[in-house]
Structure 1
Amino acid sequence: MNDSEYLLSEYSFERSFDERSAIDWMQNNWTNAFVFCGLYAVMVFGGQHFMRERQKLNLRRPLVLWSLCLAVFSIVGAIRTGWYMLYVLSSSGFRRSICDQGFYYAPVTKFWAYAFVLSKAPELGDTLFIVLRKQRLIFLHWYHHITVLLYSWYSYKDTVAGGGWFMTMNFSVHALMYSYYAARAAGLRVPRPLAMLITSAQISQMVMGVTVSALVYRWMHHGDCHSYLDNIVWASLMYLSYLVLFSQFFYQTYLRAPPQDRQAGLAPPKTAKLD
């Protein structure tokens, strides 16, 4: 067994996962994502109204556990999908890594592709901690949650090209981000440059998202890059809007912020401040 075969060897739960049933379920039920988003909007804005005249809750321990669980999930997902993407890149090249639909069906990644899209629903719970702790809730936070959930479920049902890059990048960034959140919630002092690094990684993810979407559009007409024009349009608009919003956040938080805020070091997008 060579190194690549060892790194790509699958676990029994990955090998036995029925991706065809998962894809069929998503094709029939992906619109439920709108229901989750509607309930989420009620939680966000109704919850803020409910908490307006009430004392904020101390949820530090539950927040540590929540962030730690998501961090572990993201780390494992990043490792499993990352090894597969590296294998495809090294064996078949960059174009194949974007256009190949094998990410949705390969024994190593088929489970993690489905776990990724499903995880976007429970991740909405991030906002509940902000609402109950009466912290500043920025537009980027709830906009990002809603659009990622909708696009992930919408795209998985069609197993479109580019999904391997989108999911692997998101797993990797979330591995850093939720680890950071867990450390901050636990009261650990994390160096400010690390927060800047995470936001920079998020911005790089958006640049790559736009690039992948453009390449899928270019190669789709050659017949070996499966996607649809409407999917590419939505992906491009989503990643472009993220790029603008995350860049604006970086500038306002780390470059334009008052000296005291710069010294304190605000957390990266999605939670604003954790303490």
Structure 2
Amino acid sequence: MDIQTLSSQIGGFMDNFKWDENTPLSSRIYPAATAITYLVVIYGLNKFMKDRKPMTLKGVSIVHNFNLIVLSLTMMLGVLEAAYRQAQEQGGFSLLCENKPNAVNGRIGWWIYVFYVSKYYELFDTVILALKKKPLIFLHVFHHMAMVPVTWQWLNDQWLVGSWWCVLVNSFIHTIMYYYYLQTTLGNDCWFKRYITTSQIIQFLTGTAIVSHWFYIRKTENCQGGIAPAIVSYVINTLFIGLFIRFYIKSYSSKKSAPVNRKKVE
């Protein structure tokens, strides 16, 4: 099989993607059980490591961060290409207002689904930090716990507008963020940590703006996406804006403050 044939088959697979009860991890039990299990495991690891020395896990961290760089970059480019295709075929406005009930299917739906699945893998972030006995701030734990059910709801309620945008912007930021974590794991200094946090705040501000616009035009333009994930995403975005601003002020407001410990946030 040549590369062109393989590429065509992969493209056809993505174009025919459909979210339904047969899709892996589509049952609501998966995000619900995962969120609960995540909290139990992290609590258990903290108790287990309380009187033990921190683990180094340098090799594991390098592989993990490299995997997430590649995955994040792939998702960013994939959803960008899918959004461009949809804009060419259905018009750019279809990315701001769902013009059909099952808008989160096909190529763009595939990349949103990959993003959803990636949130399960990202939970390993916290496992590594717990084994290293690094501080686990509320923002980190809450973010990881929330994103699995939130991204599941995008797919289940076929809400395209906020989901494809989050995949694009979040994957872009994660590409840079995990590169930063890879470099720090290797012992290299990186000067742009502050700007990663700034980009995260901008991400949630733009997401909130897009959702607000969707609410405004939803009835007049007959947008077909479910309203429940839009409400949940709006509330979560608002919470994240406050939490990230608080993290930014605490981490960077004082020039005399000591270097901040590695605290992963998304």
How far does residue 170 in structure 1 lie from its aligned partner after superposition? 1.5
- Written as runs of structure 1 = structure 2, the 5 A alignment for 1:114-193 is 114-162=113-161, 163-191=163-191
- The whole-number CA distance in structure 1 between the counterparts of 2:8 and 2:197 is 33
- The whole-number CA distance in structure 2 between the counterparts of 1:76 and 1:228 is 27
Counterpart of 2:81 in structure 1 is: 83
- The whole-number CA distance in structure 2 between the counterparts of 1:96 and 1:266 is 43
Q: CA, structure 1 residues 227+16, in 2 after alignment: closer, same or farther (shift >3 Å)?
A: closer
- The whole-number CA distance in structure 1 between the counterparts of 2:31 and 2:78 is 26
How far does residue 25 in structure 1 lie from its aligned partner after superposition? 3.6
Match of 1:204 among 202, 205, 209: 202
Structure 1, unpaired ranges of 5+: 1-9
Q: Which amino acid aligns with 1:185?
A: T
Structure 2, unpaired ranges of 5+: 1-6
Counterpart of 1:235 in structure 2 is: 233
Three-state SS of the structure 1 residue aligned to 2:153 is helix
How far does residue 227 in structure 1 lie from its aligned partner after superposition? 2.7
Q: Which amino acid aligns with 2:159?
A: V
- The whole-number CA distance in structure 1 between the counterparts of 2:87 and 2:26 is 33
- The whole-number CA distance in structure 2 between the counterparts of 1:218 and 1:16 is 35
Relative to the length of structure 2, the TM-score reads 0.86
Number of residue equivalences: 254
Counterpart of 2:4 in structure 1 is: none
Counterpart of 1:6 in structure 2 is: none
Q: CA, structure 1 residues 207+269, in 2 after alignment: closer, same or farther (shift >3 Å)?
A: farther
What RMSD, in angstroms, separates the aligned Cα atoms of the two structures?
2.4
Q: CA, structure 1 residues 268+38, in 2 after alignment: closer, same or farther (shift >3 Å)?
A: closer
Q: Which amino acid aligns with 1:24?
A: E
How far does residue 177 in structure 1 lie from its aligned partner after superposition? 1.1
Q: Which amino acid aligns with 1:210?
A: T
Whether 1:23 and 2:23 are equivalent positions in the alignment is: no
- Written as runs of structure 1 = structure 2, the 5 A alignment for 1:28-43 is 29-43=27-41
Match of 1:254 among 252, 255, 265: 252
Whether 1:245 and 2:255 are equivalent positions in the alignment is: no
Q: 1:67-101 CA deviation, whole Å, 9 max, x = no partner? A: 100110001111121233356568834x4322246
Mean Cα deviation higher: 39-48 or 228-237 = 228-237
Q: Which amino acid aligns with 2:10?
A: F
Q: Percent identity?
A: 20
Q: 1:106-156 CA deviation, whole Å, 9 max, x = no partner? A: 43x343221111111111110001100001110000100111111101121
Mean Cα deviation higher: 143-152 or 26-35 = 26-35
Q: Which amino acid aligns with 1:147?
A: A
- The whole-number CA distance in structure 1 between the counterparts of 2:247 and 2:148 is 21
Relative to the length of structure 1, the TM-score reads 0.83
Three-state SS of the structure 2 residue aligned to 1:242 is helix
Mean Cα deviation higher: 56-65 or 166-175 = 166-175
How far does residue 39 in structure 1 lie from its aligned partner after superposition? 1.1
Three-state SS of the structure 2 residue aligned to 1:182 is helix
Counterpart of 1:98 in structure 2 is: 96
Q: CA, structure 1 residues 81+199, in 2 after alignment: closer, same or farther (shift >3 Å)?
A: same
- The whole-number CA distance in structure 2 between the counterparts of 1:28 and 1:66 is 25
Whether 1:220 and 2:215 are equivalent positions in the alignment is: no
